[in-house]
Amino acid sequence: MTKAVFSRRLLCKGAASAVVALPFGFGACATGGAGGGSVGETVGSVVLGQPMPDLALHGIGKSGANTSLVAFQGQVLLLDVWASWCEPCKVELPMLDDIAHRLASKSVVIAAVSIDQDAENMRQFLSTRKKWSLKFFHDPVGAVAERLAPPKMPTSYVIDKQGIVRMINTGFEAADAKRIERRLSELAG
């Protein structure tokens, strides 16, 4: 895969629009989550109501094992694509971590995939919290991002126990957390 860098408009809340080079052709870092959608709707390259493609996930740190999405079948999964340079991501991840802690007993897993090319930037952000309930993975070459083509940063995919995509949240605002948690709880039963 080539590490193409494209110029895109940065749509972060509180920031003036500016042309910025973003890795892997990402459209934007954005606030204002759009969740739900209709069965059959395509967001990036993912179709609501269809199986999520299997993805290789690369663990981080000494205890981080490599795995794939198939390993999470039988559990409700939220797959979050984020980066340390994305301000809404920095707001979202602690909120998702709180959700992961509350829903762990319901077989809900939240996996966060960093697309940071420099792992140190990711590690620096992760050090802002002593302990995380999320499962973290790293995608420095953009394979996950290329496969899913998320339209905004962050983008979250809610996947049911059978591996079907049930909700996609693009961008993030604090109010999105309640909607995401409610949907995860519904799917967990």
Walk along the chain (189 residues) and give the pLDDT tens digit of each residue: 333 322 222 233 323 222 233 344 444 454 445 556 677 888 988 999 999 999 999 998 766 789 999 999 999 999 999 999 999 999 999 999 999 999 999 999 999 999 999 999 999 999 999 999 999 999 988 999 999 999 999 999 999 999 999 999 999 999 999 999 999 999 999
- Name the domain count of the chain: 1
> In this structure, what CATH number is given to the domain that contains residue 146?
3.40.30.10
**pLDDT value for 15:** 31
pLDDT at 38: 76
Q: Please list the helix, strand and coil fractions of the chain in percent, rounded to the nearest 5, in that order.
A: 25, 30, 45
Task: Record the pTM.
Answer: 0.82
Q: Is residue 80 part of a domain?
A: yes
Look at residue 42 in the predicted model and tell me its pLDDT: 85
Domain limits for position 106: 28-188
Cα-Cα end-to-end distance for the chain:
40
Whether 22 maps to a domain, the answer reads no
- Residue 169 maps to a domain: yes
Residue 16 pLDDT: 29
Assigned domain for 65 exists? yes
* Residue 11, in any domain of the structure: no
Indicate whether 10 belongs to any domain: no
| CB contact at 8 A, 160 and 187 | yes
Residue 136 lies in a domain: yes
Burial class (CB in 10 A: 0-12, 13-18, 19+), 59: middle
Q: Does 8 map to a domain?
A: no
pLDDT at residue number 40: 80
